[in-house]
């Protein structure tokens, strides 16, 4: 009996260490998988960031303003639109409204991802919300919806989001510093639509996403005549609004998840 009493704490300690090791291993595995899934996206993200660094300085922003916009706003489409409107002297109210409307898509992202992240503490949700860009949403939602649930699956979004964040800061800095030396023949501005095409096309597998893409695209073409680039504002509202309405009216059986065998 004395031997058992003396040995029990060691067994308990080893068991706890094993559990903790398993937890850390699962979290690290999800984190590294997120990084691995995000690597192919850098083909479009890095040129996109370089283009923004060039455009930001050309639009009249200082190098520091351009760089810190990538850290504070951290949204490629929003940053490009901001600098384009800023360079054309667009009134401040329209500039802010347009950028805000474009960013409304993150409301949809948050609504979708809350299903998988609502159990996390507030600090985790705020941090992951900051990292939830278009690319991060696309790859992590694919992980969350298509693969078995894991208590540590949010580390996937953390890994992919951080990779995208560092790549975006790095490429923005390259654009700011090396922009004047990059020849026009490189046509880096093509990276902007290319990145969004690469993100959007794989996501068009659900009815609300298809409706949003069609409505936003048609609206942008129809309202090209509006001054101050207001067609961007109208198209963004139509795209987000149509997606929210179609999501609300979807039948429950169309959104049922397939349970793992």
In terms of domains, do 47 and 174 share one? yes
- pLDDT tens-digit profile of 33-68? 999 999 988 887 888 888 889 888 888 899 999 999
Looking at the structure, tell me whether residues 153 and 226 fall in a common domain. no
Q: Per the domain annotation, does 58 fall within a domain?
A: yes
- Same domain (yes/no): 214, 96: no
Instruction: Report pTM.
Output: 0.70
Taking alpha carbons only, the member of 74, 51, 87 closest to residue 190 is: 51
Domain of 219, in residue numbers: 204-251
CA dihedral 190, 191, 197, 203 (to 10 degrees): -170
DSSP string, 41-69: THHHHHHHHHHHHHHHHHTT--HHHHHHH
Q: Which of 147, 165, 189 is the last residue of a domain?
A: 189
**Residues 175-229: tens digit of each pLDDT:** 999 877 777 777 666 766 776 676 677 667 788 888 988 998 999 899 988 877 6
| 167 shares its domain with 107 | yes
Q: Are residues 73 and 128 in the same domain?
A: yes
Instruction: Give the Cα separation of 247 and 242 in Å (integer).
Output: 8
Same structural domain, 70 and 102: yes
Do 69 and 185 belong to one domain? yes
Give the model confidence (pLDDT) of 62-106 as tens digits.
999 999 999 988 888 889 888 888 888 888 888 888 888 778 778
- Closest listed residue to residue 46, CA positions, set 166, 177, 216: 166
Domain boundary among 141, 163, 189: 189
Q: How many domains does the chain have?
A: 2
């Amino acid at each position: 009996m004395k031997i058992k009493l003396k040995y029990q704490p060691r067994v308990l300690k080893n068991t706890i260490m094993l559990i903790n090791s398993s937890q850390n291993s699962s979290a690290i595995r999800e984190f590294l998988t997120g990084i691995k899934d995000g690597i192919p996206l850098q083909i479009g993200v890095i040129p996109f960031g370089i283009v923004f660094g060039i455009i930001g300085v050309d639009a009249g922003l200082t190098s520091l303003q351009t760089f810190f916009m990538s850290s504070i706003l951290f949204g490629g489409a929003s940053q490009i639109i901001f600098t384009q409107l800023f360079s054309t002297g667009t009134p401040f109210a329209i500039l802010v409204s347009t950028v805000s409307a474009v960013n409304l898509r993150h409301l949809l992202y948050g609504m979708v991802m809350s299903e998988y992240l609502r159990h996390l503490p507030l600090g985790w949700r705020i941090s992951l919300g900051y990292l939830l860009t278009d690319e991060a949403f696309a790859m992590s939602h694919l992980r969350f919806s298509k693969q078995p649930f894991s208590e540590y699956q949010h580390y996937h979004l953390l890994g992919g989001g951080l990779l995208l964040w560092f790549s975006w800061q790095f490429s923005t800095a390259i654009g700011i510093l090396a922009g004047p030396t990059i020849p026009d023949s490189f046509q880096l501005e093509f990276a902007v639509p290319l990145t969004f095409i690469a993100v959007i096309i794989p996501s068009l597998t659900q009815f609300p996403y298809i409706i949003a893409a069609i409505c936003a695209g048609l609206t942008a073409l129809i309202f090209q005549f509006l001054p101050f680039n207001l067609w961007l504002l109208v198209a963004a509202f139509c795209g987000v609004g149509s997606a929210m309405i179609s999501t609300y009216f979807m039948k429950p059986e169309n959104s049922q998840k397939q349970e793992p065998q």
